[in-house]
């Protein structure tokens, strides 16, 4: 077995077979369990899409009611877990707070430790779907020094999350249906994307038979990086930089092309899509609609559109088939909704959760699964004799 193939970044290596999500990167096609993303975006909702991803079929009315009422009943965090947030600095980034709290769920629910105990995997699935929005809202509340709100289980998942984020304990909070629908749509569009960096991480960690919470916590950390989920925040920083440098889009694109100081056009390019990302198409349209409905005029949206236009007319981007990806326009919507930039990648995590769960479950139930253990090409020194301190 001396023959090992080197494939940095797994550009051409499949690590599993999967029935969950289909992507045709050249044609710009994305389907969950066979259903085109455009139809799900228009007709479905996040809870239904989560069920579809995790269980493989669209739920019947009764299955959907059961699934969502179970989720509603598990939204509370253990009071001791609430105190956990006090241990972080107030200006902590919410992503490591999120991953730490998810990791800590293993300590509160020790019944989750056996990955082959199906009823408990189902329970962990519900607990994660229910509690991640609460954890995310508390990470935010902690960062702004505001009191935590208990979940209101008469509300849907997205409405509840918005209320826990932007509401106050003593005041009624009217969830804006336009915001709720837009966030639900963004969650649908983020819900799965086959073997991306964070999903592969969830599978790799899970392949050691680590439980669902531990595996998803690792996935959240993988998502944090700016080349993956962190790109949505990096796009906003980039747009703000361009604005403060006089909104000279052409000059910025020149820098990217000359690869000056590692400047990349964030929110552009994708390992699999060599065409317009079908999610970005929907999101771009949504950004226009939401900003208009909220009566927000954001100069940064104008800069983003100019950037896209300039890049798509430029040989550098055309030759490399670089198009806007899911992260290019999302930040502008989140910002119009009132989320600070730091929260953007947390919102990505909330959307991606059902995909991670679906992949972990598929992995654990697949008889072909083996512990993930890539090989390497050793290029270090050959054997040599130890040198005493005096001789170095």
Residues numbered 264-303 forming contacts with ligand CMC, rule: CB under 6 A = 264-271
In the residue annotation, 270 being an active-site residue is answered as yes
Nearest distance from C-beta of residue 362 to ligand CMC, angstroms: 20
Examine the residue annotation and report whether 74 is marked as an active-site residue of this protein.
Answer: no
Q: To the nearest whole angstrom, how small is the minimum distance from the Cβ of residue 227 to ligand CMC?
A: 4
Residue 373 gets the label, from left (phi > 0), alpha (psi -120 to 50) or beta, of: beta
Q: Is 9 one of the binding residues for ligand CMC (CB under 6 A)?
A: yes
Token pair listed for 84: 């956990």
- Which residues, 181 to 220, sit near ligand CMC by CB under 6 A? 196
Q: How far is the CB of 233 from ligand CMC (least distance, A)?
A: 11
Cβ atoms of 232 and 340 within 8 Å: the answer is no
| CB closer to ligand CMC out of 167 and 324 | 324
- For ligand CMC, give the closer residue by CB, 99 or 325: 325
- 3-state secondary structure (DSSP) of residue 391: helix
Considering only residues 49-68, where is the footprint of ligand CMC by CB under 6 A? none
262-266: long-range pairs with CB below 8 Å, 24+: 265/238, 265/307, 265/311, 265/317, 265/322, 266/226, 266/231, 266/234, 266/235, 266/237, 266/238, 266/327
Pairing relationship of beta strands 21-24 and 35-36 according to DSSP bridges: unpaired
Question: Would you give the DSSP letter of residue 324?
Answer: B
| Residue number, 104 or 304, with CB nearest to ligand CMC | 304
Considering the rule CB under 6 A, would residue 346 count as an interface residue with ligand CMC?
no
What DSSP string runs through 156-210? -HHHHHHHHHH--TTS-----HHHHHHHHHHHHHHS--TT-HHHHHHHHHHTTT-
Give min distance, CB of 64 to ligand CMC, in A: 28
Which CB sits closer to ligand CMC, 97 or 238? 238
> Choosing from 192, 270, 277, 359, which is the catalytic residue?
270
| Per-residue mark of binding to ligand CMC, 226-265 (x: CB under 6 A) | -xxx-x------------------------x-------xx
C-alpha triplet 124, 130, 135: angle, nearest 5°: 105
Select 135 or 266, whichever has its Cβ closest to ligand CMC. Answer: 266
Query: Closer to ligand CMC at the Cβ: 21 or 325?
Result: 325
Query: How many Cβ atoms from other residues are within 10 Å of residue 49's Cβ?
Result: 26
Rounded least distance, CB 269 to ligand CMC, Å: 2
Query: What's the closest the beta carbon of residue 255 comes to ligand CMC, in angstroms?
Result: 10
Q: What is the DSSP letter of 22?
A: E
Neighbour-count burial of 70, counting CB atoms closer than 10 A to its CB (0-12 exposed, 13-18 middle, 19+ buried): middle
Rule CB under 6 A: which residues touch ligand CMC? 9, 196, 227-229, 231, 256, 264-271, 320, 322, 325-327
Which positions are catalytic?
A: 270, 327
């Amino acid at each position: 077995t001396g023959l090992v193939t080197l494939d940095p970044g797994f550009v051409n290596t499949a690590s599993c077979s999967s029935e969950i999500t289909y992507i045709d990167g050249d044609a710009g096609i994305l389907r969950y369990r066979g259903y085109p993303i455009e139809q799900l975006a228009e007709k479905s909702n996040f809870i239904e899409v989560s069920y579809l991803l995790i269980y493989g079929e669209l739920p019947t009315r009764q299955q959907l009611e059961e699934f969502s009422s179970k989720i509603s009943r598990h939204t509370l965090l253990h009071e001791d877990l609430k105190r956990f947030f006090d241990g972080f600095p107030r200006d902590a980034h919410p992503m490591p707070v999120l991953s730490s709290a998810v990791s800590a769920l293993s300590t509160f629910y020790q019944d989750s430790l056996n990955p082959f105990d199906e009823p408990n995997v189902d329970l962990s699935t519900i607990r994660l779907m229910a509690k991640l929005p609460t954890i995310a809202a508390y990470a935010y509340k902690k960062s702004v020094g505001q009191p935590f709100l208990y979940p209101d289980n008469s509300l849907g998942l997205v409405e509840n999350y918005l209320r826990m984020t932007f509401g106050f304990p003593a005041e009624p909070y009217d969830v804006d249906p336009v915001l709720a629908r837009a966030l639900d749509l963004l969650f649908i569009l983020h819900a799965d994307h086959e073997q991306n960096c964070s999903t592969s991480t969830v599978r790799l960690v899970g392949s050691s038979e680590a439980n669902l919470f531990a595996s998803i916590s690792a996935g959240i950390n993988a998502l944090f990086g700016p080349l993956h989920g962190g790109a949505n925040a990096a796009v906003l920083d980039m747009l703000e930089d361009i604005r403060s440098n006089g909104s000279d889009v052409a000059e910025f694109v020149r820098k990217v092309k000359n690869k000056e100081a590692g400047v990349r056009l964030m929110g552009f390019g994708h390992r699999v899509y060599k065409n317009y990302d079908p999610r970005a198409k929907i999101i771009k349209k949504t950004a226009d609609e939401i900003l208009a409905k909220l009566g927000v005029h954001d100069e940064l949206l104008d800069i983003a559109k100019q950037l896209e236009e300039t890049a798509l007319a430029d040989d550098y981007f055309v030759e490399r088939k670089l198009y806007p990806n899911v992260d290019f326009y999302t930040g502008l919507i989140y910002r119009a909704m009132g989320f600070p930039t730091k929260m953007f990648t947390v919102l990505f995590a909330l959307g991606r959760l059902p995909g991670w769960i679906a992949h972990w479950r598929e992995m654990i139930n697949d008889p072909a699964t083996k512990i993930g253990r890539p090989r390497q090409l050793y290029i270090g020194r050959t054997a040599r004799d130890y040198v005493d301190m005096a001789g170095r």
